[in-house]
Structure 1
């Protein structure tokens, strides 16, 4: 029986669900929303509502902003192995690089995942 290929929207939703689950299990709390967009050999993930009220208050100073960004980015980087596993599970692709930044003004995080080949050439695409 031939396996039905998933649509772009189904793959984007699958990765969004996995990222949200990972946030809750690994980072201890999830974002308010998670949206994934597949572009060539990358996934652009937008997470809203990432910061806590205390972090917003801390972000009022330059030193506080720097601490929040460093700590939150280090946390994501420390979970790279799990993100690699998610990418392989959802797409059947290898994760080449992970880039992330957080806005201390809006509480939004962006994650860019770069794959070893375009998403539509993946085993699970």
Structure 2
């Protein structure tokens, strides 16, 4: 059976939620993955703990939380890339991430080796 764009997006959302729980020890409140041209954009809500919000009240604290959280995710990037390859059958060429200390939202962008959106629309 051929996977649809929506089913791949849902599968990625579920897999990243599980990765967060297994690798980081806790998951986000919600995860939404979207395929756009040669990218998969993942928005994760509810990332920060109440203590991290408190620390983010100062510039030094916010930078520290962002640096620590980014470092944790970057240390698991090979597994994240493999998750995308296993689900979407496309290689990840680069990975970008950032977190908002105001909203507690993380955005992940997986840049792909080919235009997955176009590939899926041709099936």
TM-score interval for Structure 1 and Structure 2 normalised by the shorter chain: over 0.9
Unpaired runs of 5+ in structure 2?
A: none
Name the counterpart of 2:36. 39
Whether 2:109 is the aligned partner of 1:112: answer yes
Residue in structure 1 matching 2:60, options 52, 60, 63: 63
Equivalent residue number for residue 92 of structure 1: 89
Instruction: Note the 1:71-82 alignment, pairs <5 A.
Output: 71-82=68-79
Take 2:101 and 2:85, find their aligned partners in 1: how far apart are those partners? 31
Offset of 1:84 from its aligned partner?
A: 1.3
Q: Alignment RMSD, CA only?
A: 1.2
- Quick one: distance in 2 between partners of 1:38 and 1:85? 16
- TM-score, normalized by length of structure 1? 0.92
Residue 28 (str. 1) matches residue 49 (str. 2)? no
- Give every structure 1 segment of 4 or more consecutive aligned residues whose post-TM-superposition deviation is greater than 4 Å: none
Unaligned runs of 5+ in 1: none
TM-score, scaled to structure 2 = 0.94
Q: How does 1:8-19 map to 2 (within 5 A)?
A: 8-19=5-16
